Structures are given as structure tokens and as C-alpha cells.
């Protein structure tokens, strides 16, 4: 790749402890650089041996984010897409498992011409190749290294970015290190020693950071900034305070105020237009217009870990900004409903059942769906949430006793949800799967088209006949039951053009009842929101307000009676 076509590389590493927010920091900086007219790509390098995040438990790793081209990736790619206008792809997430698989495939083919295959140079070369592929066509490629400096798993990645920095030269490579500045209440001091040691560890392996992002719960005093600069060999203006903020969408402006984007542009010698954060200012100030708090009950399987539903949480929050509503999410473990019944759902302005796999809690989700249907409460079912809506309707409205999904009950007498063995992907290619296929590659994944029926609620929400949304599932609505179920009132209002697979179901005679087979949360951004979530939250507002009116109408009679007494 010639120098004029090669991106400028900004490498983001982390130290002291994990989960400091490298992904959000990288995405926020990228968002600011994007407003300066630069094309920015972000990639995530994960040091685990899994080929991708698809088979990892949300309890351990949080949400699996799905790209348009069907890659199951780290949740940080969701942050990237929410902050940037560009979309990620399977090239945007690189794991140790992918790297070693590629190296071993090359070794088996004889590509190394009999050489002894080693971490250096073969593994590190493969990592560099992956970074270059992921950043191709960008002005700036931001590469975030997962894990923490000092972890054994991260060493090949750190060595690779050190080598790549030497190859492209100091004017095309920049290193940004995120560390923790703990505050000790007993002494009233902010401690810089962990940051000093983290940078020392980084320098030991040959990387001198150009910028430090210092994460803390309060602004960094100038005296501590000078001390950190002195002991880490980093310019004082390049020591950036990364404080806890009450809104992550304030971070781009916070970093810009400290001149971080200017440091990057200066380092790379780029000529750009001025930063324009007006769009982000509108996103931030939209919270001030939220005049009503509504409660959305989310009935899920992984509710003890917020990261398991991070895109979903953000999509609801985006919808709140676009509808003037403060959305409060009340999480309910599906098994709790099995034990305690639907009384735990009382007071909900809306009910949402998200995607998931496996049988645990499935009956609780069905009860939640029935409660929403029978009580006129807005309901949104996503993926498995749509499937339980079909199962519930088949059982309690159509009289199909024991109706279920073959994922849960292979011997069900009424398999209203089953495994479709053949379908067309977004490129028109025929895909096949069986019950014995590997779990890592048998799903309908990535962007798929759906045609929306004229006159349906779905068509009105999207204001389009054809839409494209991302999928991650194996089981589908069984079209053998379509006539029976639609005959009793559950309308299939969206389906794939080629295979007529059900994409959206809705109840026309319900205030708002929609289930979708896809995951709309992956497409929501704070700037545009998402039409499905915005419509859902508006319905929750209407439900809340109507119940306020009902309560108010009853209040005078109660007050009068009390006065007479």
C-alpha cells in the first residue's frame, strides 16, 4: 500500500484496570474527527481465543453486536456505530482466534515455505495485515486493543502495533493510552502512581504513548497533570482528563474542549475544517425536553448484567430523546414471573421482551406477552420476543394447546416456531442449516430485507414498503400455521421477499402490539433514533397519560367522599 493511500493509525490501549471505557473514548474522539471532514474507521482487536463473540455468554462478555454483513462481534462495535455515521463490518473486529486460524490455514497450505511458524513474525504480521484491511480507505484508522497492558494475551497485539508504527513512521502512527486515576477519600488525594506504572509497562515493550487519557471521577488538577507529564515523558497538553459524565454523548465535546482532536490532527499533519459539534449539542440538549417519565418493563434472561442489553438500552434512550420522554427501564428476570405470576408486571407503561436463546424463563416471557395483549399495554417483542408472541397467541387465542418452538420442545404437537433449513441471504445466495450444524455459523445473520404490508402499523411506522434490518437467530415462524393464526387476528405485516419468512407480526385491534424477528436496536443512533422504538415509546407515553386521566377522573369522587365524611 502506497503512503498516499495508507491511513493514519491511532492505537488505543488501556492500563491499570479493564472496563475504563476505551471503546466509548475511541468512538467519541472519532465522532469529533468526523465533524472535521475526516473519514474514520475504528477496529477492535480482542485477545480472546474465540473466533468471534457468537458463542460467548452475555453474562461473561455482554452483548453480541451484529454487523450489516453478519459478523458477531464485540459490543464496542455498537459504540462505534452509535457515534459514527459509517458502519462496521466483519473486518472491524479481530480476535486471537481469527489470527491463529488464519496463520494455521496458511501453514497447512504451505504458504510459509517450510519456515518454523512463530508468534514473531508470523502472528504479528497477520495482526498487522488485519489492521490494514480494517482501516483501508480511511483517513484515520483507530485500532482499540482489548484487555489491559500487562496481560499475557495482549502481548502479540501490542508487539504488532509497535512494529506497524515503525513501518509506517511516526507521522502516521500515534499511541493513546487510557489509565485510571483513583481518588483516595481518606487522604483527599488523586493518585498518579498507577498511571505511572502503567505507562512504564507500556514503554517496557517498546511503546511510548503520545497521549494519555486519565479516567477519574473528578477533573484532573494542573499540578497532577504536570506530575504525570514529567514521569511519563508525555507533553503536558497531551495529558487529557477523562471524567465521569452523566451523559456519554457529552464526551465528544469534553474531549474537544481539551484539544484532543487538535492534538491528533497536528500529529498527523492533516489539513481539516473546523470542528462542528452542533449535532452533538442537539443530542445532549434533547434530554432537557423530556417532560414525562415512562416505565418500560424488560422481561429477559440476562437482566443482572446491563451490558447484555446495551444496544437495546441505548435504543430506548434514543427514542426517549426523540419523543420528549425519560425512559426508565425496570428489569424483570423471566423466571421471577414463573414463580410470582403477572402481578410483578403491574404499573408498566410498556412491556418489552428481548432476544435470547434457550428454554430458561420462556414460560415467564409468554405470561408477560399474554398480560400485555389482554390488558392493552404496548408490547414490543424482539426476535425471541416475537416468537413467544406467536406461541402465546397460538395457545390462548387459536386453541393450539401445547404450541411451542422446536428449539424448546422438539416434540411439540404444534411447532408454530421451527427450524427453516433453507433461505436466501441478503446477497441472494441460498443458505442451509440443520439441527446438527455448528452453533457458530447456522443463524440468519446480518442485514436482511423485509417487505411491509400496505395498511399495516409496521408500514406506517417505517413509512416505507421495503426495509433492511439485522438478524441473529436460527428459528422462524412456521408458515404452515399462517392461515390459522392470521385468521384469528395476529397479522404478519412484514416478510422476506424471496422466502416469505415472517419478519413482523402485529395485532391491529391492540393499542400497540408488534413483534419483529430482527434486532432493530443495532441500527439506532442518538442522532436519528429508530422509528420502531420511537413509535413504541410514544405508545407508552399515551398509555401513561391515559391512565393519569383515568386516575384523575376518579380522584374528585374520592376527595368529595372524604370531605363529606
Backbone φ and ψ for 414, nearest 5 degrees, come out as: -135, 85
End-to-end CA distance of the chain: 88
Name residue, grid cell 395457545: 395
- Please indicate whether residue 521 is annotated as part of the active site: yes
Catalytic residue among 159, 506, 521, 544: 521
Residue tagged 489492521 (cell numbers): 131
DSSP state of 355: -
CA–CA gap between residue 256 and residue 253 (Å, rounded): 5
Residue 372 burial (CB count, 10 A): 30
Using only C-alpha atoms, the chain has a radius of gyration, in whole angstroms, of 26
Name 213's bridge partners: 178, 240
Q: Give me the sign of the Cα torsion angle 209, 211, 217, 223.
A: positive
Per DSSP, what are the bridge partners of residue 292?
Answer: 325
Helix (H) or strand (E) holding 211: strand 211-216
- Give the DSSP letter of residue 95: E
Pick the catalytic residue from 318, 404, 510, 519: 519
Strands (E), 341-385: 350-353, 379-382
Report residue 91 as a C-alpha cell.
Answer: 473486518
> Comparing C-alpha atoms, which of 454, 475, 479, 476 is closest to residue 465?
454
Q: How big is the CA angle at 547 (ends 507 and 489), to the nearest 5 degrees?
A: 10
Question: φ, ψ for residue 382 (rounded to 5)?
Answer: -115, 125
Cα separation, 414 vs 411, whole angstroms: 9
473 has catalytic annotation = no
The grid cell for 357 is: 436463546
Asked if the peptide bond before residue 271 counts as cis, ω within 30 degrees of 0, the response is no
Which entry of 214, 383, 398, 516 is annotated as an active-site residue? 383
398 in catalytic set = no
> CA nearest 141: which of 192, 91, 198?
91
- φ/ψ of 256, rounded to 5, equals -65, -40
* Residues that are catalytic: 383, 519, 521
Amino acid at each position: 500500500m502506497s503512503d498516499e493511500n495508507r491511513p493514519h493509525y491511532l492505537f488505543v490501549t488501556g492500563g491499570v484496570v479493564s472496563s475504563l471505557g476505551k471503546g466509548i473514548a475511541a468512538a467519541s474522539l472519532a465522532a469529533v474527527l468526523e465533524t472535521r471532514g475526516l473519514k474514520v474507521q475504528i477496529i477492535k482487536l480482542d485477545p480472546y481465543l474465540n473466533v468471534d463473540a457468537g458463542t460467548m455468554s452475555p453474562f461473561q462478555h455482554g452483548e453480541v453486536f451484529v454487523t450489516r454483513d453478519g459478523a458477531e462481534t464485540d459490543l464496542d462495535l455498537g459504540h462505534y456505530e452509535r457515534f459514527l455515521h459509517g458502519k462496521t463490518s466483519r473486518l472491524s473486529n479481530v480476535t486471537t482466534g481469527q489470527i491463529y486460524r488464519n496463520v494455521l490455514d496458511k501453514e497447512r497450505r504451505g504458504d510459509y515455505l517450510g519456515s518454523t511458524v512463530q508468534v514473531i513474525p508470523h502472528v504479528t504480521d497477520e495482526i498487522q495485515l488485519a489492521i490494514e484491511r480494517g482501516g483501508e480507505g480511511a483517513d484515520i484508522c483507530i485500532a482499540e486493543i482489548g484487555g489491559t497492558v500487562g496481560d499475557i494475551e495482549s502481548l502479540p497485539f501490542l508487539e504488532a502495533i509497535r512494529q506497524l508504527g515503525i513501518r509506517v513512521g511516526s507521522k502516521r502512527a500515534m499511541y493513546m493510552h487510557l489509565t485510571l486515576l483513583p481518588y483516595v477519600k481518606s487522604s483527599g488525594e488523586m493518585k498518579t502512581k498507577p498511571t505511572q506504572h502503567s505507562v512504564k509497562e507500556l514503554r517496557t515493550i517498546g511503546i511510548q504513548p503520545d497521549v494519555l487519557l486519565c479516567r477519574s471521577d473528578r477533573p484532573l488538577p494542573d499540578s497532577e497533570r504536570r506530575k504525570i507529564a514529567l514521569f511519563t515523558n508525555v507533553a503536558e497538553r497531551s495529558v487529557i482528563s477523562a471524567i465521569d459524565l452523566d451523559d456519554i454523548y457529552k464526551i465528544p465535546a469534553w474531549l474537544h474542549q481539551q484539544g484532543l482532536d487538535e492534538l491528533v490532527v497536528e500529529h498527523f499533519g492533516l489539513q481539516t475544517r473546523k470542528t462542528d459539534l452542533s449535532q452533538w449539542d442537539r443530542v445532549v440538549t434533547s434530554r432537557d425536553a423530556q417532560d414525562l417519565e415512562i416505565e418500560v418493563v424488560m422481561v429477559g434472561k440476562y437482566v443482572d448484567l446491563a451490558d447484555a442489553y446495551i444496544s437495546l438500552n441505548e435504543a430506548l434512550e434514543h427514542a426517549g430523546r426523540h419523543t420528549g420522554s425519560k425512559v426508565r427501564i425496570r428489569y424483570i428476570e423471566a423466571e421471577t414471573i414463573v414463580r410470582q405470576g403477572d402481578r410483578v408486571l403491574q404499573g408498566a407503561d410498556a412491556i418489552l421482551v428481548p432476544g435470547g436463546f434457550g428454554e430458561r424463563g420462556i414460560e415467564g416471557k409468554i405470561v408477560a406477552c399474554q398480560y400485555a395483549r389482554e390488558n392493552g399495554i404496548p408490547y414490543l417483542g424482539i426476535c425471541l420476543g416475537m416468537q413467544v408472541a406467536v406461541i402465546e397467541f397460538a395457545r390462548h387465542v387459536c386453541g393450539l394447546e401445547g404450541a411451542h418452538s422446536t428449539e424448546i420442545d422438539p416434540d411439540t404437537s404444534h411447532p408454530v416456531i421451527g427450524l427453516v433449513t433453507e433461505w436466501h441471504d441478503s446477497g441472494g445466495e441460498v443458505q442451509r442449516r440443520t439441527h446438527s450444524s455448528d452453533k457458530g455459523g447456522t443463524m440468519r445473520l446480518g442485514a436482511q430485507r423485509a417487505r411491509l404490508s400496505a395498511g399495516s402499523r409496521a408500514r406506517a411506522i417505517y413509512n416505507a414498503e421495503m426495509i433492511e434490518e439485522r438478524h441473529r437467530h436460527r428459528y422462524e415462524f412456521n408458515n404452515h400455521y399462517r392461515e390459522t393464526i392470521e385468521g384469528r387476528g395476529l397479522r404478519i405485516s412484514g416478510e422476506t421477499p424471496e422466502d416469505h419468512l415472517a419478519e413482523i407480526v402485529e395485532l391491529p385491534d391492540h393499542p400497540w402490539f408488534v413483534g419483529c424477528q430482527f434486532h432493530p436496536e443495532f441500527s439506532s443512533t442518538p442522532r436519528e433514533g429508530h422509528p420502531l422504538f420511537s413509535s413504541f415509546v410514544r405508545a407508552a407515553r399515551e398509555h401513561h397519560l391515559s391512565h393519569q386521566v383515568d386516575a384523575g377522573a376518579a380522584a374528585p369522587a374520592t376527595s368529595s367522599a372524604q370531605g363529606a365524611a
